[in-house]
Amino acid sequence: MKETLFMGKITATATHELKNVLAIIRESGGLMQDFLDMVNDGSFKYKEKFGGILSKVEDQVRRGDEISTQLNRFAHTPDSDFTSENVPEVIDQVIALTQRIARSREVSFVNRPHQSMLTLTCEPVKLRMLLFQSMELLMKNAKRGERIEIRSRLNENKKTFIEFCMESDSGRNQSLDDLETSGEWKELVATAGAINSKAGLSSDSGILTLELVNMDYK
11 contacts another protein (rule: CB under 8 A)? no
Of residues 43 through 72, those in contact with another protein by CB under 8 A are 61, 65, 68-69, 72
Contact range with another protein by CB under 8 A, out of 19-27, 82-90, 147-155, 172-180: 19-27
Query: CA angle, corner 181, sides to 175 and 184, nearest 5?
Result: 90
**Which pairing describes strands 147-154 and 108-113: parallel, antiparallel, or unpaired?**
parallel
Length of the chain: 218
Q: Which amino acid is at 92?
A: D
CA–CA gap between residue 207 and residue 109 (Å, rounded): 14
Q: Segment near another protein (CB under 8 A), from 13-21, 86-94, 105-113, 177-185? A: 13-21
Among 3, 34, 41, 156, binds another protein (CB under 8 A): 34
CB of 194 to another protein, least distance (A): 28
Confirm if 167 and 138 have CB atoms less than 8 A apart: no
Please tell me the distance from the alpha carbon of residue 108 to that of residue 148, in angstroms, as a whole number.
Answer: 6
- 20 counts as binding another protein under rule CB under 8 A: yes
Residue 16 engages another protein in binding (rule: CB under 8 A): yes
Q: x/- site string to another protein, residues 98 to 137, per CB under 8 A?
A: ----------------------------------------
Of 57, 60, 67, 73, the residue at the interface with another protein (CB under 8 A) is 73
Contact of 144 with 188, CB cutoff 8 Å: no
Which strands, in side-by-side order, build the sheet including 198-202? 108-113, 147-154, 160-167, 207-212, 198-202
Of the candidate residues 5, 7, 10, 31, the single one contacting another protein (CB under 8 A): 31
Handedness of CA 149, 154, 159, 160 (dihedral sign): positive
Interacting residue ranges for another protein, rule: CB under 8 A: 12, 15-16, 19-20, 22-28, 30-31, 34, 61, 65, 68-69, 72-73, 76
